[in-house]
């Protein structure tokens, strides 16, 4: 539905345009930019605005003003920003997703951690802060990607973020082939780890540490979350 003016925010020597060739041999040129879409998830009580793009290289204040201003124009009242960070999580276990907010009231109402971070931030952090300043509820979700397989994309991390969004917004997000991609990614990392005994030992050590830490989480609340997600996907007309 909208696109920012790339000429104002991107340095093309740092964020270069991409040439692509389709199956018919037709070449196209795609410039780095940020696009805004509107989607209607199945059974959702409201539309969802999607913002997808490359972090701008300059004029962050104007970029943020324009983006958040459009959010206000469209009547959005809840903004979720997404990111990933490297961690010592094993790839064989569910990807942890942390949630935080810069607003103490939102933290209390959603039972999530208020952000205590201090230091440099990216455009996602700037947008989240600006939303709070404008009175818009804002939550940041971060997937913990194993540092020994840091290459993008990480379908398993994407799937974990989608599941957390479903829980947070009480919606169902069509997954397409993301589950199969996540499984294939894990199998591929298993094969790579098996080729190096040191890596395999390290993964086993991470698994033991993670399993020990997650023992209290293995019942009650975690099971209830999975069951609620299952019921959402079945929908009201499934006979449940």
Q: What is the pTM of this model?
A: 0.80
The neighbouring-strand residues paired with 141 are 82, 99
Higher pLDDT residue, 209 or 29? 29
* Mean pLDDT (whole number) for 120-138: 90
Instruction: Count the helix, strand and coil residues of the chain and give each as a percent rounded to the nearest 5.
Output: 45, 20, 35
The helix/strand/coil state of 234 is helix
Give the pLDDT band (50/70/90) at residue 158.
very high
* Mean pLDDT (whole number) for 179-194: 91
Pairing of strands 78-87, 137-146: parallel
Contact predicate 134/79, CB 8 Å: no
* Mean pLDDT (whole number) for 89-97: 89
Domains of the chain: 2-234 (3.40.50.10900)
Give the pLDDT band (50/70/90) at residue 224.
low
Per-residue pLDDT for 216 more than 90?
A: no
The two three-digit tokens of residue 130, written as one number: 């600006």
The rounded distance, in Å, linking the Cα atoms of 164 and 159 is: 9
* Mean pLDDT (whole number) for 19-24: 92
Per-residue pLDDT for 56 more than 90?
A: yes
Give the pLDDT band (50/70/90) at residue 178.
very high
Residue 208 confidence (pLDDT): 83
Question: Comparing C-alpha atoms, which of 130, 7, 113, 114 is closest to residue 67?
Answer: 130
């Amino acid at each position: 539905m909208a696109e920012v003016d790339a000429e104002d925010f991107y340095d093309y020597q740092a964020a270069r345009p991409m040439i692509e060739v389709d199956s018919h041999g037709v070449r196209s040129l795609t410039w780095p930019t940020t696009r805004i879409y509107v989607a209607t998830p199945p059974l959702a009580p409201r539309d969802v605005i999607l913002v997808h793009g490359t972090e701008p290289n300059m004029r962050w204040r104007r970029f943020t003003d324009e983006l958040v201003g459009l959010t206000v124009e469209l009547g959005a009242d809840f903004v979720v920003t997404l990111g990933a960070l490297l961690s010592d999580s094993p790839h064989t276990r569910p990807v942890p997703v942390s949630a935080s907010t810069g607003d103490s009231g939102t933290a209390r109402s959603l039972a999530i951690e208020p952000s205590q971070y201090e230091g440099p931030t990216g455009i996602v952090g700037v947008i989240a802060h600006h939303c709070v300043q404008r009175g818009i509820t804002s939550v940041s979700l971060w997937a913990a990607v194993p540092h020994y397989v840091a290459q993008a994309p990480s379908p398993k991390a994407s799937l974990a973020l989608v599941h957390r969004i479903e829980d947070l917004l009480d919606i169902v997000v069509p997954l397409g082939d993301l589950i199969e991609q996540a499984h294939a990614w894990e199998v591929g990392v298993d094969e790579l780890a098996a080729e190096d005994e040191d890596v395999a030992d390290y993964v086993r050590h991470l698994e033991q540490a993670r399993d020990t830490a997650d023992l209290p989480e293995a019942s009650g609340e975690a099971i209830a979350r999975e069951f609620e997600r299952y019921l959402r996907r079945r929908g009201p007309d499934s006979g449940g």
